[in-house]
Structure 1
């Protein structure tokens, strides 16, 4: 471990360091995502794929052949095809996807992949040797059941919160419906009242979405605690860790989402235009999603250690050990905070002895 103090990072610094780690460890991160998510995406595409009229040729080829946009979107085309009518086994395949594959992905693949990224970021943070792909996966799978159990518990909490917020909207809707009937019975329910109702429900919906995002972010940092063996559940620690950091985290994920969704949308449009909408095109789009996936997890892991620096004094213990081991370092010598993702500068021992 590097015996220097760690400093907090802003949104731009976290994202910048995340992209640097992505470039530096691209092969390791991509192999982890391919091993974990590759079979899942392959089975998902095989279960949901439906052959249609335009899937065999690309959109560019169809435009060259003289087809208009109306021809591409007409009845029977890919965009309006109903797979449940064409395939009698469609419902069974969808049940297999929802009841078997999705739980495996949400409770197994997702927490394991996040744990692997956390271990990689931790090794980079403390200057340790970066584990291989196999070592990262083994470290993650050692905590598989705590990771799966805590993810399941967090999912139950978020579903309960979602249902509770939905009930609030329904209650207010019923109140306004009953109130509107009484208003119509005893007087006119004017346009101003309708506009006020619309504005109220827009604000209520935004408030509900904000409330859901607030609790989701506050409880979402449980996985690193569980992956590192500090907690069995970690939800309570996550709530304490994210104290006074909601807006910073919200801004970080908002910027990250805009960047990645825009990039993926452009790539998918290019693939669809060049290769069409066939099975191979969809598999290629899935491959791109897998390659980019670690970019979702890296800012999460980097921001976790940043929160540890801010709220739990991560790095102070190393600074104290350094000060005790070197009594010559008194208070008059100011130690510059250390950015854990910067490469340390080599020390010239000859110049130091002079």
Structure 2
């Protein structure tokens, strides 16, 4: 057993392990993402190219670079999307439902092998992930529906009560909207954190959809788990935003822009999956005493 996984980790240690394992196994993790998600990126790029999107640079007309940049932003904000963009969005949406959870599951399996100091192969990790395809797919679909339902109901409730408040006075309406946003947003964050570790539970503990197991793992560890998710999310948002702005500034909405941005999203998703797995194993250790179990196994089955 890797010594870093034999005791509960502090907040900073989880992040440190996330960066360390992401760096040490970067090529393996990226290969998993490329094998599973790469074909959809190429298909999306081909559709964009065939429907008229510029290959290398696709900027709006203008007399100077700044004018072109500004006009391109206006086009993105106000112009209707093209058929190619709509099809590409649908493809990536389907991929996120089906393939991203499988890629995350494969990365989690690699992290498990690493923590046990066992040899692993990318192909075997992907194969093991797909052996749990239907439980993973069904659980991820259910989680997606829950998230959609939460946000849909939240938008309706906030909109209705804000509109009612505005009838009496605009300030009352705004105040009600802000209060409801904070209260409902906090409730959504709470439940998503408590249910958020469903995927590794489905992969390792065969307890689809894994929501109950996730709820149990995060008991007495809500704020710590929530904080780790927030920090990992902020790191991903900052990295993605910087690269998106950089690529957009020089390439516009071209095919190359979409490919590069998709690759950045693969890397940030990979990084999150690593942190996600470490959080799961740490909470499992805290709740189930896996270190004691492994010590007993090593005692009963000593290595020659």
Q: Structure 2 vs 1, CA of residues 83 and 226 (structure 1 numbering), >3 Å: closer, same or farther?
A: same
User: Which residue in the other structure is 1:24 paired with?
Assistant: 24
How far is 1:82 from its partner?
2.6
Asked whether the equivalents of residues 53 and 255 of structure 2 are also in contact (C-alpha less than 8 Å), the reply is no
> Quick one: distance in 2 between partners of 1:133 and 1:228?
18
Give the Å deviation of 1:239. 0.8
Check the 8 A contact 2:166/2:173 in 1, yes or no: no
From 151, 176, 179, the counterpart of 2:165: 176
Which residue matches 2:139?
150
RMSD value, Cα: 3.4
- The structure that has the greater radius of gyration is 1
Q: d(CA) in 2 for partners of 1:239 and 1:76?
A: 43
* Higher deviation after alignment, 33-42 or 266-275: 266-275
Q: Distance in 1 between matches of 2:72 and 2:144?
A: 40
Q: Distance in 2 between matches of 1:150 and 1:222?
A: 8
Deviations 1:180-234 (A, max 9, x none): 2xxxxxxxx5xxxx43442332121022111111111111111112112431321
**The structure with more helix, counted as a fraction of residues:** 2
Gaps of 5+ in 2: none
TM-score, length-normalised on structure 2?
0.84
Partner of 1:216: 192
* Aligned-residue offset at 1:137: 0.5
Deviations 1:26-63, CA, capped at 9 Å, x for gaps:
1110100011111222233444567579973789xx99
Residue matched to 2:57: 56
Paired residue for 2:112? 122
SS at match of 2:290: coil
Q: Which runs of 5+ in 1 are unaligned?
A: 181-188, 327-354
Other-structure match for 1:293: 269
Question: C-alpha deviations, 1:153-195, integer Å up to 9, x for none?
Answer: 22223333333433432453354356x2xxxxxxxx5xxxx43
Q: Secondary structure at the match of 1:253?
A: helix
Q: Where does 1:1-354 land on structure 2 (aligned, <5 Å)? A: 6-47=6-47, 56=57, 67=64, 69-70=66-67, 72-74=69-71, 79=76, 82-84=79-81, 90=83, 94=86, 97-98=89-90, 102-103=93-94, 105-129=95-119, 131-173=120-162, 175-176=164-165, 180=168, 194-320=170-296
In 2, the alpha carbon distance for the partners of 1:216 and 1:308 equals 18
Confirm or deny: 8 A CA contact 1:4 1:318 kept in the other structure. Answer: no
Contact kept in structure 2, 1:51 and 1:278, CA below 8 Å: no
The alpha-carbon deviation at position 303 of structure 1 amounts to 0.2
| Structure 2 residue matching 1:315: 3-state secondary structure | helix
**What is the alpha-carbon distance in structure 2 between the residues aligned to residue 19 and residue 127 of structure 1?**
18
Distance 1:274 1:231, change over 3 A: same
State the TM-score, normalized to the length of structure 1: 0.73
Retained in 2: the 8 A contact 1:308–1:314? Answer: yes
Alpha carbons of structure 1 residues 139 and 27: separation in structure 2 relative to 1, 3 Å:
same
The Cα shift of 1:69 comes to 2.6
- CA apart distance, 1:21: 0.7
Separation in 1, partners of 2:16, 2:3? 24
Asked if 2 retains the 8 angstrom alpha-carbon contact of 1:4 and 1:315, the reply is: no
What SS does structure 2 have at the residue aligned with 1:228?
A: helix
Asked if 2 retains the 8 angstrom alpha-carbon contact of 1:275 and 1:281, the reply is yes
